[in-house]
Amino acid sequence: MIVARGLSKTFPMPAGPVHAVRDVSIGIDAGEYVAIRGPSGCGKSTLLHILGCVDTPTSGTLTFDGRPVESLPDAERSRLRLLSIGFVFQRFFLLPMLTAAENVEVPQSEAGAPRADRRRRTAELLDYVGLAHRADHRPAQLSGGEAQRVAIARALANRPRVLLADEPTGELDRATGEQIAGLLDRVHVDGTAVVVVTHDPAIAERAKRELLMRDGRLA
Amino acid sequence: MTKTARTFAFAARSLVRQPGRASVGILGIAAVGALLFDMLLLSRGLIVSFRDLLDSVGFDVRILATDSPILGGARIARVTPLVRQLAGLPEIAEVVPLRLVDAETAAPRDGSQTAAGPGSVAFSLLAMDPARHAWTVVAGRDLAARVAELEVLINRRLAGLLKASPGDTISIRVACAADRAALPPMNVRVSGIADFPFDDATQQTAVAPWRAVTSLCGLVDDAADLVLIASREGYGPDAAVSAIRRLRPDLRAATNEEVVTRMQQQGFSYFRQISTVLSTITMVFGFLLITVLLTVSVNQRLGEIAALRALGFSRARLAADVLWQSALLVGTGGFLALPLGAALSVWLDAILRQMPGIPASLHFFVYEPRALAVHVGLLVATAVLAALYPMRLVAALPIAATLRSEIVG
């Protein structure tokens, strides 16, 4: 599904260029569960951003279902992310002025789903993440774990082929982190490919394939 | 739901859920929009009102002795034969000479009782035969075409000062020229009380038939300050003016439109200039207000915006969201500005009309559909311009770098 060859990403800095990702080649198959683990600053989030088509590599190629991503214009890359890739962030990034249900509806609305379908899918997803009773609550009224579960529901809203999670338990306590990890396991079991970036070995061990990253390279 | 409708709904929801920010923007635009609307009403209000005033009298051409639009300058001499000549032109339907003389009430020489009382009251006496809609009788009756005794119509203010009613007799003394002493007083009958369109709030005015006043002034002084012309239907004022210019090139004939244009270029241009300056300032203020509000909002939501981009919102989609927010803030504020501006214009108009010498029926702030169209156009431009910078911020936002910096921050 996702094939990356020879990816490199260099950030020009006043003190000299920083090589965040160096010559990484990786493939993510449909329905796979991959964890990318490594210490802070090793380049794993940058790699995830490139795989999720939100960043472009300095060199190398990336294809999604055989389509070269680099050559896609912004509108098409956005459409690809909207329909095929789900993102879960460390800081949730829910829209504070919207309720949990409205946050889950946002990507569906953007994809042009009819209102009735959106409502049905949102109820289904909130039930899936165990938050049906919190549908009308705003993010500020939710705990960290609940907010992250809403974010996972939002990421799944358009039935993506792959869910990319960047340190999804980074802001949560151990017990809540376990719950989120369990939810990602379930997403994988239900057929969606999951790529999770984490520095926590306990989370990474749950994946079927664990990749270790150090100094921008896959070990 | 179309893409545009979705973007609009998303922007509207963002504003509704942030009532503080939305209220500041809407109220700010309502205030500056009200001022902008008033400036637009002012920019042409006097011209429109002046044209209406000229047209309301029922004559569409005016003849003066010189280019000066002010009465009381050089007079048109030998006006009686001129009136006969003009009346004979096919382009002209009606000719009415007008003479303005200074007058005052006086105690009658024969000791008879009049309404004027012991003190004298100065007023302007118009010598003009009853014609078209030159005045509106509000009590008593209009001047009769032929009566044995001298009659006058007086305005309400003069009637109030003299405590005179229709049918009363007053004693007046006229001064027909600046270098001529006042003539002996004579008794005249008040036929009625009338409103004169060119009167200001403090003016005392009376009108008497042309022949009566010229008799008072002496037959040798056959001069008029102004000759009013009604063009004949089918010819129009321009044809009438051309005919007059051919007949008497020494006189200055002008259509109402030409008089208005002349006033626009001379006396009334100040209001247009003031209006332009203040309109520009209000627009700049509105532009800065919305730009600052939207820019602050974008900068506070960089993480959310980057997340939305990562979730599949395109650059154009999020830039359009900012544009719609700007349009909603400016549109709602601009709509509220209309009644606010209208109320403010009534108040400001009342203040300005207290200036001496302003005809009571002249207005500074006059509504025209054109003013509303320009108001809408300027607000649309403000909304678009105000959104440009925050739209650029959104469109140029690097997703990955922003997400990284939000996590680190």
Kindly list the residues from chain A whose CB atom is less than 8 angstroms away from the CB atom of residue B308: 95, 106
Give the A-side interface with B, CB within 8 Å: 45-46, 49, 52, 54-55, 74-75, 78-83, 85-87, 89-91, 93, 95-98, 102, 106-107, 109-112, 115, 154-155, 158, 166-167, 170
Structure tokens at A136: 């009308």
User: Nearest-CA neighbor of A112 among B9, B395, B306?
Assistant: B9
Contact criterion met (CB below 8 Å) for B206 and B123: yes
CB contact under 8 A, A49 and B6: no
pLDDT confidence of residue B6: 83
Contact criterion met (CB below 8 Å) for B256 and B60: yes
The distance of A158 to chain B (nearest Cα, Å) reads: 10
Kindly list the residues from chain A whose CB atom is less than 8 angstroms away from the CB atom of residue B406: 91, 93
Which tens digits make up the pLDDT trace of B4-56? 888 888 899 888 888 898 999 999 999 999 999 999 999 888 888 888 888 88
Task: Choose from A92, A93, A137 for mutation: most chain B CBs within 10 A.
Answer: A93
CB contact under 8 A, B406 and A79: no
Report field, pTM of the whole predicted structure over 0.80: no
**Out of B13, B306, B313, closest to residue A110 by CB:** B313
The distance of B324 to chain A (nearest Cα, Å) reads: 16
Give the B-side interface with A, CB within 8 Å: 1, 3, 6, 10, 13-14, 17-18, 303-304, 306-317, 399-400, 403-404, 406-407
Cβ-based contacts under 8 A for chains A and B:
89
Task: Choose from B3, B15, B311, B313 for mutation: most chain A CBs within 10 A.
Answer: B311
CB contact under 8 A, B311 and A107: yes
pLDDT in tens, chain B (409 residues): 677 888 888 899 888 888 898 999 999 999 999 999 999 999 888 888 888 888 888 899 999 988 765 566 788 888 889 999 999 999 999 999 988 888 888 755 455 555 555 568 888 888 888 776 678 899 998 888 666 678 899 999 888 888 888 998 888 888 776 555 666 778 889 999 999 888 887 888 999 888 888 777 765 568 888 899 999 999 999 999 999 999 999 999 999 998 888 887 776 778 888 888 999 999 999 999 999 999 999 998 899 999 999 999 999 999 999 999 999 999 999 999 999 999 999 999 999 888 887 888 889 999 999 999 999 999 999 999 999 999 999 999 999 999 888 766 5
pLDDT in tens, chain A (219 residues): 899 999 999 998 888 888 999 999 999 999 999 999 998 888 999 999 999 999 999 999 999 998 999 889 989 999 999 999 999 998 889 999 899 999 999 999 999 999 999 999 999 999 999 999 999 999 999 999 999 999 999 999 999 999 999 999 888 888 889 999 999 999 999 999 999 999 888 889 999 999 999 999 988
Q: What is the DSSP string of chain A?
A: -EEEEEEEEEE--TTS-EEEEEEEEEEE-TT-EEEEE--TTSSHHHHHHHHTTSS--SEEEEEETTEESTTS-HHHHHHHHHHHEEEE-TT----TTS-HHHHHHHHHHHTT--HHHHHHHHHHHHHHTT-GGGTT--GGGS-HHHHHHHHHHHHTTT--SEEEEESTTTTS-HHHHHHHHHHHHHHHHTT-EEEEEES-HHHHTTSSEEEEEETTEE-
CB contact under 8 A, A155 and B311: yes
Helices (H) and strands (E) in chain B, counts: 12, 10
The distance of B300 to chain A (nearest Cα, Å) reads: 12
CB contact under 8 A, A112 and B403: no
For residue A119, count other CB atoms closer than 10 A to its CB.
Answer: 14
